[in-house]
Amino acid sequence: MSGKIKFAFLLTGGCAGCEMALVDMGERLVDALEHLEVVFWAPTVADVKYKDLEAMPDQSIDLAFVDGMVRLEEHEHMLKVLRQKSKILVAFGICAALGGIPGMANIHPTEEVLEQAYKKTFSTDNPEGIFPQPSYVLEGKYQLTLPAFLDQVKPVNAVVEVDYYVGGCPPHQDFVAKAVETIVAGNLPPKGSWLGTGKAVCDSCARNPALKGRERKRVEEIKRTFEGAPQEGECLLEQGYLCLGPFTEGFCGASCPKVGIPCRGCGGPLPGVKDYGAQVMSSLGALLTDEAVDQLLKKYPNLVKLFYRYAFPGSFLGKAEQK
């Protein structure tokens, strides 16, 4: 790309952690900003309004990042506007790419989700049991409105076409720096690609049995992380901790296994995998003994939440649930 790249960033239904990953780039962000002209960054960073985006000419934004899933009518509307204004749209972070952790809400009826959020949490003080309403008239004269809540969490590509995907919750800052540099240099892969290393978390993990010149042993028992500390330097999966490193894009440099925490799959799928959770289930099955499978079923009451922790709305199963 020649000249400064007109850049936009929209947070939809996310926690803004993905934006923190950009900030975590530190000086590399300063270098990147020399090539970027930020024309819109809402609602977190710039003092811009949605109508400012709506007023921009179509295709006037070179590169737009979206972080967060889609849960409100407002998100749907803003995504459609952003798509119309942007040449390249990147689903940035696993919420935008596949629905992320909030996507697990799709396993529950909407009423149950609202009951939990507005009535049942320990910190809720809502004696009258009031739920948010899309519109309300205050004191008989002030019409207040809120964006309507959708029945399901959706990934960004359920609403608009996505050009590139970046996994991670949030994406690792080293990788974000590389992705931004790649985009700035114009070295883009075919549309629809995930921007990643194409290698699994295991490939950068110091616990990988391959580094000791041997195959991974079959898993004979399943342990949850509260059942004891894992042995240093040994593969977590071999020890029975359900590490999803073999099935997950590894641009994070094995951040979690490095500190004794099993990979939970936030990096997203490896190239060519169409359904992350289905791939995990089929591949993991071959690594477990029959006893380990029995323990898995006893110790994890909801395997969908285990295998599709970050990926349910973007999966075949999750899409079948969406209206």
Sites of contact with ligand SF4 (CB under 6 A): 14-15, 17-18, 67-68, 93-95, 100-101, 169-170, 201-202, 205, 207-208, 235-237, 243, 245-246, 248, 252, 254-257, 263-267
d(CA 227, CA 44): 40
Please report how close the Cβ of residue 168 comes to ligand SF4 at its closest, in angstroms. 6
Nearer to ligand SF4, 246 or 313 (CB): 246
d(CA 97, CA 268): 9
Please report how close the Cβ of residue 37 comes to ligand SF4 at its closest, in angstroms. 24
Phi-psi region of 312 (alpha: psi -120 to 50; beta: other; left: phi over 0): alpha
Nearer to ligand SF4, 173 or 295 (CB): 173
Nearer to ligand SF4, 147 or 209 (CB): 209
Please report how close the Cβ of residue 21 comes to ligand SF4 at its closest, in angstroms. 7
Nearer to ligand SF4, 49 or 199 (CB): 199
Please report how close the Cβ of residue 262 comes to ligand SF4 at its closest, in angstroms. 6
Nearer to ligand SF4, 243 or 296 (CB): 243
Nearer to ligand SF4, 56 or 106 (CB): 106
Please report how close the Cβ of residue 24 comes to ligand SF4 at its closest, in angstroms. 11
* CB contact at 8 A, 228 and 211: no
Helices (H), the chain: 17-23, 27-33, 50-55, 73-85, 94-98, 110-115, 173-185, 255-258, 276-287, 290-299, 303-307, 316-321
Count CB-CB contacts under 10 A for residue 90: 24
Closest to 85 in 3D by CA, of 119, 51, 126: 51
Please report how close the Cβ of residue 59 comes to ligand SF4 at its closest, in angstroms. 26
SS (H, E, C) 116-180: HHHHHCCCCCCCCCCCCCCEEEECCCEEEECCCEEEEEECHHHCCCCCEEECCCCCCHHHHHHHH
Please report how close the Cβ of residue 138 comes to ligand SF4 at its closest, in angstroms. 32
Q: Is 61 in a helix, a strand, or coil? A: strand
Nearer to ligand SF4, 15 or 304 (CB): 15
DSSP H or E run through 48: none
Please report how close the Cβ of residue 225 comes to ligand SF4 at its closest, in angstroms. 12
d(CA 118, CA 133): 12
d(CA 135, CA 146): 6
> Which residue has the closest beta carbon to ligand SF4?
245
> Could you tell me which residues are beta bridge partners of residue 134?
none
Nearer to ligand SF4, 6 or 167 (CB): 167
Entry field: residues in the chain: 323
Burial class (CB in 10 A: 0-12, 13-18, 19+), 269: buried
Nearer to ligand SF4, 35 or 260 (CB): 260
Please report how close the Cβ of residue 143 comes to ligand SF4 at its closest, in angstroms. 31
d(CA 276, CA 178): 24
